[in-house]
Chain A
Amino acid sequence: MSRSEPILKVENITKSFGSAEILKGVGLELPKGAIKILIGPSGGGKSTLLQCLNCLVTPDSGTIWFNGGVVNIQKSKELYAFRQQVGMIFQDFNLFDHLTALDNIIIALCKVKKMSKQQARERAMTELDQVGLGDKGHLYPAELSGGQKQRVAIARALAMDPKVLLLDEPTSALDPELVGEVVAVIRSLAHKGMTMIMATHQISLIRNLADEILFMKDGLIAERGTPDELLGKGCGTLSQGFCDKLNEIAGEES
């Protein structure tokens, strides 16, 4: 693994909602091109951690470094600029319901990146083609399947030229037969060297893509290591137990 400067680094992130302490001091580093995968039981803090990484949820304490500099999240201008460079994919897609697939991408390019409408349209078409939806640009979210919606969401995030992609259970809301098309897109991103951190229960993604697995439990990273270290036969780790359970479920389904 290359020892390059991390693109995104966080240290000692904490977050409470009321009296519930969701994150109890989490730190991680994302070197360029790395793929880290968050696994662990529900309520362990995976989603909250991802949302803290781009400050959709403001951490109570902790520091975020991006591209070598500390992000001052109190300054809204700096925060907006930071978010532009960190793409996020949500479990339930979060496409804008009143806009077509194409316009979902165009509006972000025009309003945030201040691109001209013409340039934005060309870029949006390119990105839709990349995810295999070049012919679906005129359709509204309500007219797309879950897998197609998620692919539009990925195209929209990629159009912003993010340096890092945060993926929050990108396949969990999909019908089983639609998971494959989204997994394929994520795989191709991985092969192109996109830096990613992803929470997922998709066993195929965990095993094949992860440079490092982070097992989160009770607001802390309980285990971290390569898939071989954590998932090798008989290593008796939390991660292995968890993945065995996922395998069982997957086995029952197929």
Chain B
Amino acid sequence: MDDMAFFRELVTGLNRGLLMSVMLIIPSALGGLIIGIVAGALRAFGNSLVIRIGDGYAALFRGTPLVVQLFVLYFGLPNVGIYLTPYWAAVTGFMLCSGAYQSEYVRGALLSIKRNQYLGAQALGFTRLQTIFWVIIPQAMRRALPGCGNEIIYLIKYSSLAYIVTFMELTGEGKTIATEYFRFTEVFLVIGFYYLILVSVAKIILRKTEKALEVPGFGSV
């Protein structure tokens, strides 16, 4: 009887949390990817000032713990008059942190494109921007995809830190129920299973994307 009530509450709570987690993860992953592509491209091709700014951004967000970043965004920014809701504090933190890591994958991929691809385009009369946009980025994208996918999978799991800024997502909901019933092991095992499903879905989507972009001579099987 008691078990029934516990499981009913657990499942409703976790499903609610799952939805919240998905609402966190999707914009954070997309935002992080966009920031990563822009920052990575600027760090690969910008002038020395732009490169320094980009490197500084990556150093700051890869060099400090995400928890600290979230604290600053949620509890620190009100001191200078900026108030973020828990949701936006979390999404902003995730995007900036994920973007810093993504920019490394993107930068590496951009730099791996051989010089003869530039020369080929330049000799045909492509402008520098056209070369980057139509030749370098499409190739680099395929090289970067496995790394970027890895970062998204990692993001799915560190999205659990949103409960630190009081946003009730999967882990937060679970923790509340666990405390209420004092049944930590069961609750966290189920939470783990939920994340496993989330990651599996992400993996399928990433694999599909890789397949769709597959070109002979670009590595992926």
Contact = CB atoms under 8 A, between A and B. Distances in A.
Contacts of A156: 124
B63 interface: no
A92 B125 contact: no
Contact of A83 (B124, B135, B216, B217): B124
A94 B123 contact: yes
A interface bracket (residues with beta carbon within 8 Å of B): 20 to 34
Contacts of B120: 90, 93-96, 153
A32 to B, nearest CB: 21
A94 B139 CA distance: 14
Interface string B131-158: 0001100110010000000000000000
Contacts of B125: 80-81, 83-84, 108, 112, 160
A76 to B, nearest CB: 7
Contact of B116 (A76, A94, A111): A94
Nearest to A57: B119
B216 A143 contact: yes
Interface in A71-100: 76, 80-81, 83-84, 86-88, 90, 92-98
B166 interface: no
Contacts of A143: 216-217
A238 B107 CA distance: 48
B121 interface: yes
B148 to A, nearest CB: 17
Given A80-B125, A94-B116, A160-B125, A140 B216 contact: yes
A52 interface: no
Given A97-B215, A98-B139, A140-B217, A160 B116 contact: no
10 contacts: A80-B126, A93-B116, A93-B120, A96-B139, A97-B139, A97-B218, A98-B142, A108-B126, A153-B120, A157-B123
Interface of A: 54, 56, 76, 80-81, 83-84, 86-88, 90, 92-98, 107-108, 111-112, 140-143, 153, 156-157, 160
Given A93-B120, A98-B215, A141-B217, 17 more contacts: A76-B127, A76-B128, A83-B124, A83-B125, A84-B124, A90-B116, A90-B120, A94-B117, A94-B123, A97-B139, A97-B217, A111-B126, A111-B134, A112-B125, A142-B216, A142-B217, A143-B217
Instruction: Identify the 4 closest CB pairs spanning chains A and B, nearest first.
Output: A142-B217, A94-B120, A84-B125, A88-B123
Interface of B: 116-117, 119-128, 130, 134-135, 138-139, 142, 215-218
